[in-house]
Amino acid sequence: AQKITQTQPGMFVQEKEAVTLDCTYDTSDPSYGLFWYKQPSSGEMIFLIYQGSYDQQNATEGRYSLNFQKARKSANLVISASQLGDSAMYFCAMRIPGAQKLVFGQGTRLTINP
């Protein structure tokens, strides 16, 4: 069965520092997609970044990048130059083609301190 593990329940970071949120995954399918979502206190789920299992390059979207290490089955999210508005829950998720659904980790609560 597919599984996502986020081992950091909470993280505290100083503003302007870079932060890495850990995510490891488990699947036997060779084809899969990995996602990161942000959930601020208001509750909505905001799509941040996507990495396909066959993508050669690590995905980047503005200040977000995904450190994809396929052999280690990890897909860590890196946020550069953190801002106060980055304080939120962050979820790593995996999608298996054909299965359609997203499997989510338990999330990491990130707090950016001024």
Partner 1 sequence: DSGVTQTPKHLITATGQRVTLRCSPRSGDLSVYWYQQSLDQGLQFLIQYYNGEERAKGNILERFSAQQFPDLHSELNLSSLELGDSALYFCASSGGLAVPYEQYFGPGTRLTVT
CB 64 within 8 A of CB 78: yes
Candidate segments 16-24, 63-71, 77-85, 97-105, binder of partner 1 by CB under 8 A? 97-105
Indicate whether 38 belongs to the interface with partner 1 (CB under 8 A). no
- The answer to whether 64 contacts partner 1 (rule: CB under 8 A) is no
Residue 45, interface with partner 1 (CB under 8 A)?
yes
55 belongs to the binding site for partner 1 (CB under 8 A):
no
Whole-angstrom CA distances from 17 to 12, 33, 75, 94 are 11, 28, 20, 27
109 lies in the binding site for partner 1 (CB under 8 A): no
Paired tokens of 8: 């950091």
Contacting partner 1 (CB under 8 A), which of 11, 13, 50, 58? 50
Can you read off the two tokens belonging to residue 54? 């066959």
Rounded Cα gap, residues 15 and 29, in angstroms: 38
Q: Out of 2, 11, 33, 73, name the contact with partner 1 by CB under 8 A.
A: 33
